[in-house]
Amino acid sequence: MGVLRHHVAGQEFGSTERTGTIFNPATGAVVGEVAYASAADANAVIAAAKAALPAWAETGLIKRADVFFRMRQLLVERQDELAAIVTREHGKVLADAKGEISRGIENIEFAAGLVHLLKGEFSQQVSRGVDVHSVKQPVGVVACITPFNFPVMVPLWMTASAIACGNTVVLKPSEKDPGAADFLVRLFEDAGLPAGVLNVLHGDKVAVDALLESPDVAAISFVGSTPVARSIYQRGTAAGKRVQALGGAKNHMVVMPDADLDGAADAAVSAAYGAAGERCMAISVLVAVGDTTADALVAKVAERMAKLVIGDGTDPASEMGPLITREHRDRVASYVTGAAAEGATVVVDGTAQEFEGDGFFIGVSLVDNVKPGMRVYEDEIFGPVLSVVRVGTYDEAVALINANSFANGTAIFTRDGGTARRFEVDAEVGMVGVNVPLPVPVGAYSFGGWRNSLFGDSHIYGPESVHFYTRSKVVTTRWPHPSESQIDLGFPSNH
């Protein structure tokens, strides 16, 4: 069992003086070690990306697109291998791992249209003999810092568009499950991406600090918790970098009295407990309008929870796997065990469920009568805990959502088109679902929240990613006849 090292300019690179342990969360067993970069290692990786930049930026768009077409095919052909890495290091069930690969492929498909995406604009004869056109050019070296919960999808959210736009990339994946990033960079190179265009830097805060401090890094893309996202944004922008930093979430799902309650209960269980709740788009708050609605929903959700199969992600029978670490499992449990003292009602206590072996498993929990101000409501738990907040009216539900410090995604379940359309307008969040509990946009749109869920002015992937990873340049041209040349000290006018 060797040490996973940095992948730089097509080669393994760096010292192994500092390393971290990679666990299989389902067993608690050590499955590998990963190198932690020194500042010198990080700067060498950045230098390699900088050296590869001129040639890649000058590469023809059709040739760039060819890489993405081949990459898509390789991802399809080798998805089983990649999914196995994700399940081994993250713990999510294989079906969920393949699902995130599928969503990552959407971003490869979007990037393959780069010839269209990088079009500029042209205006002829804006003044006599004067034309104006705009172009999109790469920003330079881009650092992509990604979280543990989607070790394939989120790196592809960032790297696909960044590379397509002509930038070179340093990808810093989570040290908890770094194997997927190493697999992706090798797959990209098999697809024809020149060495040095995409590099993988492993490590902890030392690596991140080096990326933030380097004058050769032009832009930072980050997904993680809100405190870290805020820090990344502040430090990066202070250093003159372009930064998009996506933070945490507390996603609410409103259920109106007229909703299909069986369908809503199915959706709530799926969206709250899928991937053990380790999703920034997980539904963590069920907002029931009316006590009759709430009573029925709580009963239906609890009934479905009892049937969930929790186990090793490699077992086809498993519907939910473990949490990422033992420490995170204990943190998630503390929210459930402390909820009653805050005045909430623990309907289903997942912390009481016992599991064989040393894996980082926890059962699913349902907490009723939750109110703003409670720790179980205010914090992003990032685990399989669903809170139920009871409100009397639609307006109260919307006010609850809009008062929350997070504003990533929300959903409403109703049969009434007028209510649904009104909710689309009223909900002050970045992504809205109507009878869709996880409104993650398809690859042709962009992903991102408002308030404390996003720092920066660009959402991730899709059209806004092209804006983020390029700089616009406007060119004004005039080819006058020699006889028209004259001196004019006045300010240029288009009249």
Confidence check: pLDDT of 205 > 80: yes
What pLDDT score does 494 carry?
A: 56
Q: pLDDT value at position 485? A: 64
277-303 tens-digit pLDDT: 999 899 999 999 999 999 999 999 999
Average pLDDT, the chain: 94
144 annotated active-site: no
pLDDT at position 495 is 53
Averaged pLDDT, 366-391? 96
Burial of 235 (0-12, 13-18, 19+ CB in 10 A): middle
pLDDT digits (tens, 9 = 90+) for 146-173: 999 999 999 999 999 999 999 999 999 9
The DSSP output letter for 320 is B
Residue 495 burial by CB count (10 A; 0-12/13-18/19+): exposed, middle or buried? exposed
Average pLDDT over residues 429-454: 90
Mean pLDDT computed over 132-137: 96
Confidence of residue 52 (pLDDT cuts 50, 70, 90): very high
Helix (H) or strand (E) holding 10: none
Q: Quick one: DSSP state of residue 8? A: E
Q: If you average pLDDT over residues 69-86, what whole number do you get?
A: 97
- Model confidence band, residue 443 (pLDDT cutoffs 50, 70, 90): confident
Q: Give percent of the chain with pLDDT exceeding 90.
A: 89
Judged against a pLDDT cut of 70, whether residue 493 lies above it is answered with no
Q: What is the mean pLDDT of residues 87-98?
A: 96
Q: What is the mean pLDDT of residues 240-252?
A: 95
Q: What is the pLDDT of residue 1?
A: 58
Q: pLDDT above 70 covers what percent of the chain?
A: 98
Contacts of 49 (CB under 8 A, 6+ apart): 141, 168, 169, 170, 196, 197, 199, 216
Across residues 409-426, what is the average pLDDT? Answer: 96
How does residue 129 score in pLDDT terms, banded at 50, 70 and 90? confident
Domains of the chain, each with CATH number or no CATH? 3-247+453-475 (3.40.605.10), 251-434 (3.40.309.10)
* Cα distances (angstroms) measured from residue 456 to each of 1, 213, 231, 381, 451: 41, 18, 12, 24, 10
| Cβ atoms of 398 and 423 closer than 8 Å | yes
* pLDDT of amino acid 480: 78
pLDDT for the residue numbered 2: 81
Give ∠ CA 475-468-177 in degrees, rounded to 5.
150
Tokens representing residue 86 in the block = 């994700």
Q: Is pLDDT of 331 > 70?
A: yes
Q: Which of 4-8, 99-103, 356-360, 445-449 has the lowest mean pLDDT?
A: 445-449
Q: What is the mean pLDDT of residues 362-374?
A: 96
- Spot the catalytic one: 22, 171, 256, 280: 280
206 pLDDT above the threshold of 80: yes
**Residue type present at position 350:** G
User: The pTM is what?
Assistant: 0.92
